[in-house]
Amino acid sequence: FVETADPERFTEQDLTQGVILASQIAQALENSQLFSQIQRLQDQYRVVTESLNDAVYTVDLQERLTFGNAALELLTGYQVQELVGHPSLTLYTTGAAQAIMERRRQRRSGRPVPFHLETEIHRKDGTDVPVELSVANLVLEGQMVGRVIVARDITERKYLEEQLRQSQKLEAVGALAAGVAHELGNALGIIGSAAQYLLKGCAEDHPSHEFLDVIHRNVAQADRTIRGLLSFARPRHPSPAP
């Protein structure tokens, strides 16, 4: 215990050192409180991101990965510990990485860049997964410190889109087939009717009779083919459930 009643016991240097020590203690307490706040924010952030189905990761200003949630591990096949500190471009296919780098150049040059991008992630097992990226700046106390990226697996959506395209192609082919079938049907109908009319007035022993009969029979065969084509081209709707 130090008696402080007599100020003469402390030199000016002692007082200066005391002020410095007190300032350091105050700064340490402030840093401790700030660290506790950061820890709480990180814990809250982790709770939120771990509950998402979409992969979430953050990068610093050098584009190195600094954080990733469990969904990122499922999407990429990597553990987060394997990714932290590495360039985020290593997550993507060669073509996708080049496109992302081009977007970065555009952004640095001041050109407007969309915050959404469809691209492909290259998994650890060597397979590629289509994803939709959403990018936002990561700002701390008014200063940009990196970016946060949300990667959504769109494999199912791509499959459905491809199914829709194939369906639309079939509809287009069906419409074309129906148009061709109608045109051929009209032409063959005239030919068939003419052949049948001529056959009625042509004796069986006439040289043209056999020729007209062949025309008539082939027109009938072609008509059956056209009906089948129209049946294929006709839109099919699912029958209502009983």
pLDDT in tens, 92-118: 998 888 888 888 888 778 777 777 888
Asked if pLDDT for residue 79 goes beyond 90, the answer is: yes
* CA atoms 46, 134, 131, 61: torsion sign: negative
Q: Which helix (H) or strand (E) holds 31?
A: helix 12-50
In the predicted model, what is the mean pLDDT of residues 46-50?
A: 61
Q: Indicate the pTM of the whole model.
A: 0.55
Q: In this predicted structure, what is the pLDDT of residue 11?
A: 58
Q: What is the pLDDT of residue 92?
A: 92
In the predicted model, is pLDDT for residue 158 greater than 80?
yes
What's 96's DSSP letter?
Answer: H
pLDDT confidence tier of residue 38, bands split at 50, 70 and 90: very low
Q: Pick the closest to residue 88 from 61, 65, 56 (CA basis).
A: 65
Q: Are 130 and 108 in contact (CB under 8 A)?
A: no
Of residues 234 and 236, the one with the higher pLDDT is 234
For residue 161, name the pLDDT band (cuts at 50, 70, 90).
confident
